[in-house]
Amino acid sequence: MSLEIKVPEVGESITEVTIASWLKSDGDYVEQDEIIAELESDKATFELPAEKAGVLKIKVQDGETVDVGTVICEIDTSASGSSDKSEKKEEKKESKSSDESKSSESSEPEKTGEVKEMIVPAVGESITEVTISSWLKEEGDFVELDEIIAEVESDKATFELPAEANGILKIVAQEGDTLEIGATICKIEVMSGAPSSSGGDAKKETKSESASAGGDSSSSDSYAAGHASPAAAKILKEKGIDPGTVKGTGVDGRITKEDAENAQKSASKTESKSEEKEEQGSAPVAGSRNQRREKMSSLRKTISKRLVSVKNETAMLTTFNEVDMKPIMDLRSKYKEQFKEKHGVGLGFMSFFTKACCQALLEWPAVNAAIDGNEMVYNDYCDISIAVSSPKGLVVPVIRNAENLDFKGIESEVVRLAKKARDGKLSIEEMQGGTFTITNGGIFGSMLSTPIINAPQSAILGMHNIVERPVAINGQVEIRPVMYVALSYDHRIIDGKESVSFLVRVKELLEDPARLMLGV
């Protein structure tokens, strides 16, 4: 009897899926509930389990896109398993008898019969999906309660996933997979107690022997050494690179996705050189024409969606002005050494701009407001978002109640948040909220730009580089350090008068820093 397996319904708005990969081959014997394929939609990747045991007959090949409800394979439930099946049963029996022997000889942990299913936790109000960045433990490893077993990243931050019980790890979602909040990420076969140190050493030795089979057993310290993660293995396979030639920088020498991408680059350079040598003498080569493709990270995809959404859903305009930076620069030059000696942090431009914006926001509350449905939400506080460039992309941590902080407090927060951003240690709470954003493209040499609003906020201030320009001062031409500033705003909530007046007020406060101290 043949059982038809159809594409299941995976969500209200999902009408079609793509066969990402078959994990079993045509004609293979599969067990009931065994994962046989990976399917992906425009929102997530999910696994397809076998509904019955039998011989698999594939109807739809890898890479094909089909509608929900389409038959993609059949399982011949009347067919008997192959010799592999009987071998697996014998292995299971041997393993079981071995476990029983071990438990009688030592005080190893015992199975409780409970299986703990771990799901993707809720990590923030606006976060609906996460990506498995890396597994820190292997399939079948014994894990202890609260031990960190994986790193998971969202569009805003990377966070660690602790084990929710003692037991044997069964990995469900692979590295690189994107899952929705609440989806199953792994299972733990709960066990009482923990393995003895000798048992753990024996396990390590077994893994080391397995990893070095057919070679020198001393070539790797553990099973993970030289072993590619699923995401890394896929990249290496596509590029035809032998994992044995790649040095792993992950836990215990494991080859990570980044290692695979770097190996791809070096391999491409080697191939390019050899190709150029072969072509020499036959045709002139103008230069390298290599290409490489990289999958967009979860962070980059979310940033893309949000930027397009802001452009399409807001009435965004930008107004400009210029600031004579000489008063601030003179003040910094005079007191920066004393400031750093007393407070332990440098005196930068960001504290001046933050203080000026806070004062102007309290005077023009619409610039500090947001639209929520049919209502306008006004804030009596200033949570200033600071745009920071990190290795994984642009992040925007928040300085809470900046209106109550002095220069030392603002500079300390800027340094703290910027360091955590570069190290990838920002928490979700540190990036949520924010009523107004400041971004500084000037550090990269930008003269002028139109920054995009950081939704759901209604305005963003763009700083730029400082350039000496001729300026008319009291009828005389003088050379002054000038910065152009830009305010992008949502015209649905902020009128022209408010936006221009806000930017003029910021200009006044910056060109006369004494006003920042006196609040006038």
Within 66-119, where are the H helices? 83-105
Three-state SS annotation for 273-337:
HHHHHHHCCCCCCCCCCCCCCCCCCHHHHHHHHHHHHHHHHCCEEEEEEEEECHHHHHHHHHHHH
CB distance 242 to 270 below 8 Å: no
Residue 510, pLDDT score: 94
Predicted TM-score of the model (pTM):
0.51
User: What value does the CA radius of gyration of the chain take, rounded to a whole number of Å?
Assistant: 30
For residue 160, pLDDT over 50 is answered with yes
Domains present along the chain, CATH in parentheses: 2-76 (2.40.50.100), 106-211 (2.40.50.100), 224-274 (4.10.320.10), 315-518 (3.30.559.10)
Q: CA 41, CA 68: separation in Å to the nearest integer?
A: 10
**Residue 500 — φ and ψ, nearest 5°?**
-70, -40
Top-confidence residue, 393 or 354:
354
pLDDT, average across residues 209-225: 43
C-alpha distances out from residue 66 to 45, 51, 69, 356, Å: 15, 19, 9, 56
Q: CA 236, CA 257: separation in Å to the nearest integer?
A: 9
Three-state SS annotation for 244-271:
HHCCCCCHHHCECHHHHHHHHHHHHHHH
Centroid of chain to Cα 486 = 29
How is residue 456 annotated by DSSP? T
C-alpha distances out from residue 504 to 259, 302, 320, 436, 501, Å: 50, 34, 9, 17, 5
CB distance 404 to 380 below 8 Å: no
Strands 459-463 and 436-440: parallel
pLDDT band of residue 436 (cuts 50, 70, 90) is very high
* 80-84, 394-398, 516-520, range with the lowest pLDDT: 80-84
Residue type at 447? M
C-alpha distances out from residue 170 to 118, 187, 189, 278, 477, Å: 10, 5, 7, 49, 74
User: What residues contact 248, with CB distance under 8 A and at least 6 apart?
Assistant: 224, 225, 226, 227, 228, 254, 255, 256, 259
C-alpha distances out from residue 389 to 258, 285, 408, 423, 440, Å: 19, 37, 22, 11, 10
Strands 158-162 and 148-153: antiparallel
Residue 429, pLDDT score: 82
Residue 377, pLDDT score: 93
Residue 402, pLDDT score: 93
Residue 223, pLDDT score: 44
pLDDT, average across residues 308-334: 91
Which residue spans within 422-465 are E strands per DSSP? 436-440, 459-463
Residue 217, pLDDT score: 38
pLDDT, average across residues 49-73: 88
Max avg pLDDT among 7-11, 67-71, 496-500: 496-500
The candidate with the shortest Cα–Cα distance to 499, out of 299, 272, 320, is 320
Helix/strand/coil for 210: helix
Top-confidence residue, 127 or 102:
127
Residue 404, pLDDT score: 93
Residues marked active site are found at: 491, 495
Centroid of chain to Cα 404 = 32
Residue 91, pLDDT score: 53
Q: Which residue has the tokens 């390019």?
A: 272
Q: What is the mean pLDDT of the chain?
A: 80
Q: CA 153, CA 158: separation in Å to the nearest integer?
A: 4
CB distance 58 to 26 below 8 Å: yes
